[in-house]
Amino acid sequence: MFADFTATNRRVLAKLSTPAKIQDFLNSLPFHFVDKNDTCLSPKEVLRFGTAQCMEGAMLAAAALRYHGHPPLLVDLTATDDDADHVIAVFKIDNHWGAISKTNHAVLRYREPIYKTIRELVMSYFHEYFLHDGRKTLRSYSTPFNLARLDRQNWMTSEEPVWFVPEALIDARHHKILSPKQISSLRLADPIEIAAGKLTIDGAKL
């Protein structure tokens, strides 16, 4: 399954033996900013180029989890049209869910495996998910998508862009988290929360 990775790649994956180590490795990669020349690199290509954006980081995390016996599961967090979606790799330890995330923000990051359900895990991101004006935008999440379903398309090692992965996530079953009444009564994030949300790692870009 991992034969198409280089020996160097496999040594890296072997060292990422826990979700926490995977998260630390993702944090060490410079963030790849979204622009008109955006990429969707496979895990092998991410290891080759040494940068990653949200989707690429989640796929690399899923591949590393798989290397150590976990299923390669992604969850798509969907927002309002004026905000960006986010993708996390999820894992289960002692019957509790956790998540690995690649982001340039100070928020929407790693989650310890302490959540009983995927919904409970997803809702831990809700109050961090807001725009610069304070509007909270998280609206739905996908059922965990097993990337093993895309093995025939070589999602782990393709040298071509793997846009079929986010496309499959978009098509996956999603679950709404708010009613219209709840949406209409949402309070704006506090100014100090908004200020903290602007903190980034790699420069001022978001």
What does the pLDDT read at residue 33? 67
Kindly list the structural domains of the chain, giving each domain's residue range(s) and its CATH number in brackets, ordered by start.
7-197 (3.10.620)
What does the pLDDT read at residue 105? 84
What does the pLDDT read at residue 199? 84
What does the pLDDT read at residue 35? 60
For residue 179, is it left (φ>0), alpha (ψ between -120 and 50) or beta? beta
Q: Report helix angle 54-67 to 19-28, nearest 10.
A: 140
**Chunked mean pLDDT (size 10), the chain, 206 residues:** 95 98 96 73 97 96 98 98 96 98 92 98 97 97 98 97 97 98 97 89 57
What does the pLDDT read at residue 151? 98
What does the pLDDT read at residue 36? 52
What does the pLDDT read at residue 91? 98
Amino acid in the structure at residue 160 = E
| Residues β-bridged to residue 75 | 88
